[in-house]
Amino acid sequence: MIMTGCGLIAVIAADEGTISGLWAIALFVASVIGSIIIYIVQRKHYDELLNALGTEAAALAFYMIGSAMLLWSAFAAFGFVVPITPFALIAMTAGGPMVSTFIVASRKGMMTPR
């Protein structure tokens, strides 16, 4: 998540004109590839609970983001809202997994104090 966040910061910096768009895309792609490599290396150290939580959070994020995009697109098609912007897509795909992780952890009772 940290590497993906760094890539998103690069994309926002390019939008502000701080760095060029080509550098921003290169940094974003490098951060996503780095995240995938870290995931592959660390995957063998996860236990069953963490694997189950990750799978459930990923499925929930997929359905949440898909539903939001579908509803937004349908409303935009009929002129009720503005169309989805690229930064809205980035925000949904970056924030959806974080929200779904908190939802899954709280459903499993991991957010309650002991």
Query: Per the structure, how many domains does the chain have?
Result: 2
pLDDT at 32 over 80: yes
> pLDDT (tens digit, 9 = 90+) per residue, 35-92?
889 889 988 888 888 889 989 999 999 999 999 999 999 999 999 999 988 888 888 8
Q: Tokens 């995938």 identify what position?
A: 36
Shared-domain flag, residues 27 and 70: no
What's residue 6's pLDDT?
78
Shared-domain flag, residues 103 and 73: yes
What's residue 1's pLDDT?
66
Shared-domain flag, residues 38 and 57: no
Shared-domain flag, residues 29 and 61: no
Shared-domain flag, residues 39 and 67: no
What's residue 59's pLDDT?
95
Shared-domain flag, residues 52 and 93: yes
The pTM of this model reads 0.73
What's residue 82's pLDDT?
93
* pLDDT range class, residue 110, cuts 50, 70, 90: confident
Residue 64 CA to residue 70 CA, distance in Å, equals 10
Cα-Cα-Cα-Cα torsion 69, 72, 75, 78, nearest 10 degrees, comes to -70
**Percentage above 90 pLDDT, the chain:** 35
Shared-domain flag, residues 7 and 22: yes
Can you give the residue range of the structural domain that contains 51? Answer: 46-114
What's residue 11's pLDDT?
78
Shared-domain flag, residues 56 and 75: yes
Shared-domain flag, residues 50 and 40: no
Shared-domain flag, residues 54 and 37: no
Query: Coil, helix or strand for 44?
Result: helix
What's residue 74's pLDDT?
94
